[in-house]
Structure 1
Amino acid sequence: MLRQAQHDSLSLACYFCVILFFLAPHAFAQTTLQYTDHTYRAGIKSVECYNTAKQGSFPIISLRSNEQLQLAFDDLDGRSRSYYYSLEHCDASWNSSRLSPAEYLQSFMEDRIIDYSYSSGTVQKYIHYEVKFPNQNIIPKLAGNYLLKVYEDADQNKLIITRRVYIASSAVGIAASFVPSNNVARRLNNQKINFEASYTGLNVQNPYNDIKVLVMQNGRAETSILNTRPTFLRGSQLIYNDFNINDFAGGNEFRHFDTRTLKLNSERIARIFKDTANTVLLLGDESRNQNAYLFQYDINGSYYVINQDGRDARTDADYVYVFFNFTPSATLPKGDIYLTGRFNNYELTNANKLQYDATRNRYTMQALLKQGVYDYQYVWVDAASGKASSEPLEGSYFETENDYQLLVYYRPPGSRWEELVGYKVINTGRR
């Protein structure tokens, strides 16, 4: 009897363990920290991180200024949780600077997110969280790259979000311009960035080693170029204009759709279905790799959460299942098509991969997105080479309007870290 009772108790314990595992898988999940923009849980949606001066802007502020960054996200789980956030100082290549928080923060090491509210009048229930910083609890005292980490129960092993943010000083001045590529074969497709960085006032002992400049297109880390050596020096100016550097594929204007209202179809929407869930069927997309450039307004891959039918999009904008379908204009070699934009961190994951429908010769996928305005593009990943590029499906043109962010990093003499000492953005549409 005793042995049977022990067996029954063990079986019951195992049963409850299984039940708990399926009811709360997040409690058992192990997450590996990624020094990139990444969302670690499927139920976390609509993550925004920007300078409060403008929604959707590049997440950079000036050191010791009144500027703030805003982080906002939704938890579709439906019950409030105890979320915390912290900052980690990183170098120009987004490796940890391995500093103690006391060395780069003049405040607490972490802070709890206490500003949250429940959705109102929506089909999809969620809780909206947001926080602005620097604030009285989190104050960076060094310029540089910072990895913003959000996690549950003050336990950094329970990560839910990481975001790259930037705190800059203005010790270095930058002058930049863009020109056609020096590569004759790519002159109609590429945009080359030439620039100068003036470091007057900085104690630079070796300009070839102490200063690095990162050039990003539309804030996208995966296409950025890190300049570790200038072409030549002119007094206290670093000149970067070598024929073969900072040559970017111009790409094409992003595709877009608008779900600010679910009462009528906007430009790119074919049908709207409202039942137990909101569903939007977009018009079909085709390849835009044409001979000529065609202007189309976009927001350079970004997105805005907006609800025209409500008063506060943070809590009354609903979630919508958006159906995408893409028809290739020609037979493609073996490979995969992905849908990317800032809304999914440009990640090439299974969740963002289109499925091929052989009966209709088209690729399809769906995404659960909050009401708003979204930019997106299609990326082709060749099976043979593994190379990812939007050019085979979207085209690439010198005339494309893009933002380029230039960030200057400096390692002070004898220090163990790199500081962000200069920032400039240029737009190819303004000459």
Structure 2
Amino acid sequence: MIKSGILLFLCLFSLQFVQAQQEFTYDNQVYSPYIKTVQLYNTQKEQSIPELTLGSSEKLSFSFDDLRGGSKNYWYTVEHCTYDWKSSGLSVLDYLDGMNEDRIIDYAYSSKTLQKFTHYTLTFPNDQIKPRISGNYLLKVYEDGDPKKAVCSQRFYIVDQQVNIKSEVTPSNEVSLRTSNQKINITVVHPNPIQNPYQDVKLVLMQNGNPLTAKLNAKPTYVKPGSLIYNELDGNDFKGSNEFRKFDFRSLRYKAEHVQDLFTDSTNNILLFTDVNGSAVRYTQQIDENGAFFIRNQDNRDNDTDSDYGRVQFTLNVAAPGTNGDIYVVGRFNNYTLTDENKLTYNTSKKRFYTNLFLKQGLYDYQYVWKDKTTGNVDTTVLEGSFFETENNYQAFVYYRRPGSRWDELIGYSLFSTIQH
């Protein structure tokens, strides 16, 4: 009887622990090991930043796979957030037209694949849920209509373009960093007066859509009539990093770019060629997709339901950058998040770092990052190198909180590339 009571207590404790772990965070996250290949982008361009213009006909495409197969009862809602990704604390009535939640009813079963899965899709804004104000938003997906059963969450942006953003890319002002860093200068041109720009306006810059690179400008450097200038001597200095590594496993029948071997046992296995330290002396130009990935297959017809999954083995031959830290493999495919799943482990006999990721057929960009356990700092260039010549995309977001307002509007967005300057 005592043993039964202990077991019951442990089961309840475990259940509570799992549920606690599934509370939503205001970030791009996957909360279930069965959920794979989460995608969210503007339908005008695959894998674009998930932003759209307020009141326009633009749509966002959202999708994911459930490896359990069958059909599940998935629901979703969206929540308005502050410029720094916290809850705005607004009533749903303040920021949504229509309902505050709805079911995801579009799904399709996998076909001709070794790994069975169900592919779920959602396009919004739609007749059920439509944001009515600009700003940062979090899409939240949960099971059985219960927000405590978190499945995944994705950030997106609704823009009410009220300003014009002019950008300039120059070498770093610091002489020692001129060959490795890209300095971004921004001018925000606003036709309407802004009473207190030093307090009410925020500028956020991001490289290649990677939240790990985001830089907040809380105040402009200069304020001129009709414009705000952000060009501090040491401000917005980004490491140029390097072009992304990439591999191609659109086919499970032949070995494509950077694939050393393919074989199938209980699952599909893809062994990539061993990667080495990317910190070369000189920059080498190569075409990449700035961290994006594209689900494709050359074996069947439908990319969404006919693309199979495989266990992809990454191998890295480097010396650890420090004595107390971890190496992760990241890209848009995992939202650049650092988890146990994409952390590399060191094999002392082979003197290599390894990890295996369960990925869907397609084209993938990726890079290795180092996280120092002592400081918590993430270095995206110690294993990749950093060059001013690297082609990068940058995103600029301008937020404005009007005097007396309760939320941050997103009044400007700009996407620009270093090769356009």
Question: TM-score if structure 1 supplies the norm length?
Answer: 0.93
Structure 1 CA distance for aligned equivalents of residues 199 and 16 of structure 2 = 47
Question: Please, which of 402, 408, 413 is the counterpart of residue 412 of structure 1?
Answer: 402
Q: Is the 8 A contact 1:30 1:157 kept in 2?
A: no
Q: Which runs of structure 2 are paired with 1:31-430 in the superposition (5 Å)?
A: 31-201=22-192, 203-328=193-318, 330=319, 332-334=321-323, 335-430=325-420
Partner residue of 1:4? none
Distance 1:119-1:333 versus aligned 2 partners, 3 A rule: same
Cα separation, 2, equivalents of 1:123 and 1:144 = 42
Which structure would you say has the larger Rg?
1
Output the CA distance in 1 between the equivalents of 2:271 and 2:22. Answer: 34
- 1:54 Cα deviation after fit: 1.1
The one-letter code sitting in structure 2 at the alignment partner of 1:425 is L
How far is the alpha carbon of 1:333 from its aligned partner?
2.9
Residue type of the alignment partner of 1:228: A
Q: Contact conserved, 1:88 with 1:147, CA < 8 A, in 2?
A: yes
Contact 1:273 1:280 in 2 (8 A): yes
Instruction: Give 1:21 shift.
Output: 10
Q: Quickly say closer, same or farther: Cα 1:417–1:286, change in 2 above 3 A.
A: same
Q: Give, in whole Å, the separation in 1 of the partners of 2:217 and 2:266.
A: 52
1-side partners of 2:327 and 2:267: how far apart? 27
8 Å Cα contact 2:293/2:365 also seen in 1 = yes
SS at match of 2:199: helix
CA contact (8 A) 1:104 1:141 kept: yes
How far apart in 2 are the matches of 1:353 and 1:104?
38
1:201-221 CA-to-partner distances (Å, cap 9, x unmatched) read 2x5211111211111101111
Rounded to whole Å, the distance in 2 between the matches of 1:304 and 1:75 is 18
For 1:28 and 1:90, the matched residues in 2 are separated by 23
Matches of 1:382 and 1:28, distance apart in 2: 29
TM-score, normalised relative to structure 2: 0.95
How far 1:16 sits from its partner (Å)? 9.5
* RMSD, aligned α-carbons: 2.2
Letter of the 1:57 partner, please give it. S
Identify unmatched segments of 5+ residues in structure 1.
Answer: 1-6
| Cα deviation digits, residues 344-372 of structure 1 (max 9, x gap) | 12122211111111111111110000001
Aligned to 1:3: none
Question: Per-residue displacement from partner, 1:300-347 (whole Å, max 9, x unpaired)?
Answer: 11111111221111111000100010101x564313211111111212
> In the TM superposition, what is the alpha-carbon distance from 1:425 to its structure 2 partner?
0.9
2: distance between equivalents of 1:297 and 1:187?
23
Gaps (5+ residues) in structure 2?
none
User: After superposition, what is the alpha-carbon deviation per residue over 1:91-140, rounded to whole angstroms, capped at 9, x for unaligned?
Assistant: 11111110001000111101110001110111000010010000000111
Structure 1 segments of 4 or more deviating over 6 A? 13-22, 24-27
